[in-house]
């Protein structure tokens, strides 16, 4: 299912925003709806002025593993290059860490969760 050189990135927050994508990847990403089971979403105050300027938001969504098996977070899964994944790492602040998860669709994708 995976194309060589292509990785999957799941976004439930600002990486779905066109301006963030253009700034981070130099292009608008094409994606499809999916969800992340076993996680719950809250908001996180962002202290990095550059990230706030790019996203236009002082608070970004963040997800954490949930004890409630019914919890899931809706979002979008994107096919991106390894280089674009590194660009996403540059955009995300240190309050997030990147982990590999299995989405509801069965796709293995990278996602940024609470550090």
Q: Which domain holds residue 74?
A: 6-114
Asked whether residue 68 is domain-assigned, the answer is: yes
Tally of domains within the chain: 1
Tokens of 79: 């096919």
CATH number at residue 58: 3.10.490.10
Angle between helices 18-25 and 82-91 (to 10 degrees): 110
Asked whether residue 1 is domain-assigned, the answer is: no
The residues with which 60 forms a beta bridge, in sequence order, are: 44
What residues have CB less than 8 Å from 112, skipping those under 6 apart?
Answer: 15, 62, 88, 92, 96, 97, 98
Q: pLDDT per residue over 73-85, tens digit each? A: 999 999 999 999 9
Q: pLDDT per residue over 57-107, tens digit each? A: 998 889 999 999 899 999 999 999 999 999 999 988 888 999 999 999 999
Give the global pTM. 0.88
């Amino acid at each position: 299912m995976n194309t060589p050189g292509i990785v999957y990135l799941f976004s439930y927050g600002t990486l779905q925003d066109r301006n963030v994508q253009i700034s981070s990847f130099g292009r608008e990403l094409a994606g499809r709806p999916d969800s992340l089971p076993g996680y719950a979403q809250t908001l996180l105050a962002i202290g990095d002025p550059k990230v706030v300027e790019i996203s236009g938001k002082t608070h970004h969504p963040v997800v954490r593993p949930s004890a409630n098996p019914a919890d899931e977070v809706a979002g979008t899964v994107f096919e991106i290059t390894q280089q674009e994944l590194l660009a996403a790492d540059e955009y995300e602040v240190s309050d997030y860490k990147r982990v590999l998860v299995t989405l509801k669709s069965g796709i293995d994708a990278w996602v940024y969760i609470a550090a």
